[in-house]
Amino acid sequence: MIVLVINCGSSSIKYQLYKMPEKAVLAKGLVEKIGESGSRLIHKSDKGKHEAEVAVRNHKAGMSEILRILTDATHGVIEQIGEIGAVGHRVVHGGEAYSGSVLIDDKVLACVEDFCDLAPLHNPPNLTGIREAQEALPGVPMVAVFDTAFHQTIPPHAYLYALPHELYEKYRVRKYGFHGTSHAFVTHRTAELLGKPLDQTNIITCHLGNGGSMAAVKNGKGIDTTMGMTPLPGVVMGTRCGDIDPAIIFYLLGKDEFADPKKIDNLLNKKSGLLGISGVSNDMRDLEELAANNGGHPRAQLALDIFNYRLKFYIGAYMAILGQVDAIVFTGGIGENGSHVRSASCGNLSAFGIEIDEAKNKGTIRGKEGIISTSGSKVKVMVVPTDEEGWIATETYELAK
């Protein structure tokens, strides 16, 4: 079966075409800057890379462009769109309604729409992507794979905030967690690599990219995660602040330059994190380079120190709530490539049974799985490259076949 995976954002549509069950990637790419000047298509397959400026007015035109290039005489990889057997959609928020992936029907669409309130930046474009795909590919089964689903096994004492309970009942205020597709993939793959049954595997997953979250996984199921009702709390991210004292917001509201709450929203989401601390970049590579060269860059170093401190903090917390841990697993752009981050966050933890092998840590190869702890380390430390699209393709295939 040919499965098309769609990740629809506010101004872009990413796609990946798979042959299942082999999980062979036939093509992947994106349409970006939808509705803006300079909108373009980037398409890759074993026929090579194709980049073109294309006028893409809206998401409908974006979806048409994707289906056109997939069947294009020169760059295409299938003869006709009728070959597409199912479409998998990344959907950010499934609220409490979905603890797994589902075949999309009207009820699912209504739910995704209902959760737009909880994820105003993400669910509306996800919904648009589904509707446009349904229109372009009528009758083709579509599957929603939710970013929140993996975390639906978190128990109430971990997902509830210490707020009046009515807020949960009335406004659905609780921790939901995100990056679930990545945490789910990494959890399953780690159990396979450890050769352990999933329901006997305890791990701490660290998805560290420009956005980042960690999850505590007990017996294969999520029991806590660092993001919350929104993707803002938890570890330090590229531009997001992670955990802060909520009273800071009210303090800032009293200052003239932050009297408008939108400015604080922008500050916490777009101007904080690594960028805010360092004042120079949200990119881990830039900061590592700045901190290492020319006698160092104190604020780049500070950004790294705060980033690593917060990771270690959560590793300790999750060791405590899990009791026994088989592995700490790193994934995402920073998790897969950042040997300094892995070394700093897992260093000096031999009292917890965690011992990094520095030669293995530094010797990891991009995109490759590996164990980077010493052979005597009670808790394994691993690198497992994430594959969110592959996970969506598998879930879609399983439900659609």
For the annotated catalytic residues, the residue numbers are 147
Q: Which residue is nearest to ligand AMP (CB)?
A: 333
Tally: H helices and E strands in the chain: 15, 14
Residue number with CB closer to ligand AMP (156 or 367): 367
Q: Which residues pair with 91 in a beta bridge?
A: 146
What minimum distance in Å lies between the beta carbon of 337 and ligand AMP?
3
Q: Which residues pair with 203 in a beta bridge?
A: 217, 327
Residue 275 as a binder of ligand AMP (CB under 6 A): the answer is: no
Residue 209 as a binder of ligand AMP (CB under 6 A): the answer is: yes
Residue 385 as a binder of ligand AMP (CB under 6 A): the answer is: no
Cα dihedral angle (231, 276, 282, 181), rounded to 10 degrees?
A: -10
Q: Which residues pair with 52 in a beta bridge?
A: 41
Q: Give how far the C-alpha of residue 196 lies from the chain's centroid of Cα atoms, to the nearest Å.
A: 25
Binding segment for ligand AMP (CB under 6 A), chosen from 69-77, 173-181, 192-200, 284-292, is 284-292
What minimum distance in Å lies between the beta carbon of 319 and ligand AMP?
24
Distance CA 340, CA 364 (A): 12
Beta-strand ranges (E) seen in 244-379 are 327-331, 370-371
Residue number with CB closer to ligand AMP (134 or 210): 210
Residue number with CB closer to ligand AMP (334 or 371): 334
Give Cβ neighbours of residue 71 (< 8 Å, ≥ 6 apart).
78, 79, 80, 81
The interface with ligand AMP within residues 223-252 (CB under 6 A) comprises 238
Q: Which residue's structure tokens are 């104190």? A: 298
What minimum distance in Å lies between the beta carbon of 316 and ligand AMP?
23
Q: Which of 71, 210, 230, 343 binds ligand AMP (CB under 6 A)?
A: 210
Burial of residue 111 (number of CB atoms within 10 Å: 0-12, 13-18, 19+): buried
Element (H, E) at 224: strand 221-225
What minimum distance in Å lies between the beta carbon of 281 and ligand AMP?
8
**Size of residue set near ligand AMP by CB under 6 A:** 12
Residue 337 as a binder of ligand AMP (CB under 6 A): the answer is: yes
Q: Which of 20, 206, 284, 393 binds ligand AMP (CB under 6 A)?
A: 284
Binding site for ligand AMP (CB under 6 A): 209-210, 238, 283-285, 288, 332-334, 337-338
